[in-house]
Amino acid sequence: MQNKISLNKLKRGDIATIISFEDSNLPAKFFELGFMPGAKIEIKHKAPLNGPICVNIIQNNTLIALRVTEACTILTDKI
């Protein structure tokens, strides 16, 4: 069974695989920094009051931060 959930709803410490992007206007920079279908991520930090989310792109071992507004358009499968 798949647990489809948008990236912003994941909790700190959750690991998930990115499935798809709902917003076709998402800047290409997101893909270049490693957000792409199939990429495994782990939620590392969340700034309070719906602030940015810090994600570890596991394959690159890099930390990338993004805003909730973009995170809610990224669909993931929680592992």
Residues forming the site for other proteins (CB under 8 A)? 24-34, 36-37, 44-52, 54, 56, 59-67, 69-70
In the complex, the smallest distance separating the C-beta of residue 14 from other proteins, rounded to whole angstroms, is 15
Nearer to other proteins, 5 or 64 (CB): 64
In the complex, the smallest distance separating the C-beta of residue 24 from other proteins, rounded to whole angstroms, is 7
Which residues are bridge partners to 31 per DSSP? Answer: none
- Measure the CA–CA gap between 9 and 59, rounded to whole angstroms: 22
Nearer to other proteins, 30 or 77 (CB): 30
- Measure the CA–CA gap between 60 and 1, rounded to whole angstroms: 27
- Measure the CA–CA gap between 50 and 6, rounded to whole angstroms: 14
Nearer to other proteins, 3 or 20 (CB): 20
